[in-house]
């Protein structure tokens, strides 16, 4: 009986690990690195995480988890609440509706596919921010962050793959 309870807790803890890793990454992304001009172009880590888990283990990255991640990120970053949530949900919708394409893709192909997905999400964020602000925002910073995000994908995807091997069986 006791064994059964621990076993079940173990399974729950393991299935929560994608969510926990993503929340931790969002916090780590905020640590001041004392490097000039890095803050504005730091990659959108949550975007990469949600994409990766939505492709590889969709049952562990549910819409509820995505909502929680987006809300946490929006509240912590001080940006407009809801904008990040909608962008992450868009990633979920794209991956979910095109599951056939994503499920068969290799590591490199997933990186290539990530580029348009991230572009759509960042574009939505820019659009919603413009709407909330009531004026057109500079495109430059968004473009830079988009490029660093796409560039950071393989590195983080490799990390997630290791986590997937160790934590989730």
Partner 1 sequence: MYRRAGSVARLATPVKAWAQRFALLLLIGVAVALMLLDKTDSVVIERARTLVTDAVSPLLEAAARPVATFSEMSERGTQLVAVAAENAALREQNERLQHWQAVARRLEAENMALRNMLSLAPDPALHFVTARVIGDQGGAFVRSMLVNVGNQEGVRRGQAALTGEGLAGRVAEVGAHTARVLLLTDMNSRIPILVGGTRDRAMLAGDNTGQPRLLYLEPRVELKVGDRVVTSGHGGVFPPGLPVGQVVSVREDGVRVQPFVDWGHMEYLRLVNYELPGILRSLEESKTPGNGR
Residue 129 touches partner 1, criterion: CB under 8 A:
yes
For partner 1, the closer CB: 82 or 116? 82
Only segment of 2-10, 101-109, 137-145, 151-159 that touches partner 1 (CB under 8 A): 137-145
Round to the nearest angstrom and report the end-to-end CA distance of the chain. 22
For partner 1, the binding residues in 91-110 under the rule CB under 8 A are: 92-93
Only segment of 5-13, 48-56, 101-109, 123-131 that touches partner 1 (CB under 8 A): 123-131
Q: Site for partner 1 (CB under 8 A): which residue of 60, 89, 101, 152?
A: 89
Question: What is the number of residues in the chain?
Answer: 169
In the complex, what is the shortest distance from the CB of residue 151 to partner 1, in angstroms, rounded to a whole number?
15
Tokens for 114, please give them.
Answer: 């990530």
CB atoms within 10 A of CB 104: 8
Tokens for 37, please give them.
Answer: 């001009």
Residue 80 touches partner 1, criterion: CB under 8 A:
yes
Which positions ≥6 away from 121 have C-beta within 8 Å?
A: 44, 47, 87, 88, 90, 91
Which positions ≥6 away from 169 have C-beta within 8 Å?
A: 14
Binding mask 4-33 for partner 1 (x = CB under 8 A): -----------------------xxxxxxx
In the complex, what is the shortest distance from the CB of residue 97 to partner 1, in angstroms, rounded to a whole number?
11
The DSSP symbol for 136 reads P
Tokens for 119, please give them.
Answer: 């572009």
Q: Is 78 left (phi over 0), alpha (psi -120 to 50) or beta?
A: left
For partner 1, the closer CB: 10 or 98? 98
**Which residues form the interface with partner 1 (CB under 8 A)?**
27-44, 62-64, 66-67, 70-72, 75-83, 85-86, 89, 92-93, 122, 125-126, 128-129, 132-133, 137-138, 140-142, 144-145
């Amino acid at each position: 009986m006791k064994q059964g309870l621990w076993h079940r807790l173990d399974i729950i803890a393991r299935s929560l690990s994608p969510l926990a890793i993503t929340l931790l990454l969002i916090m780590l992304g905020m640590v001041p690195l004392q490097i000039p001009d890095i803050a504005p172009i730091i990659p959108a880590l949550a975007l990469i995480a949600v994409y990766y888990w939505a492709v590889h283990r969709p049952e562990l990255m549910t819409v509820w988890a995505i909502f929680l991640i987006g809300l946490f990120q929006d509240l912590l970053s001080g940006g407009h609440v809801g904008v990040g949530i909608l962008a992450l949900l868009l990633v979920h919708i794209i991956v979910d509706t095109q599951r056939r394409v994503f499920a068969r893709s290799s590591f490199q192909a997933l990186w290539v596919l990530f580029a348009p997905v991230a572009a759509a999400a960042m574009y939505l964020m820019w659009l919603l921010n413009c709407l909330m602000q009531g004026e057109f925002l500079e495109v430059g910073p968004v473009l830079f962050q988009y490029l660093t995000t796409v560039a950071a994908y393989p590195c983080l995807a490799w990390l997630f793959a290791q986590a997937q091997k160790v934590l989730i069986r």
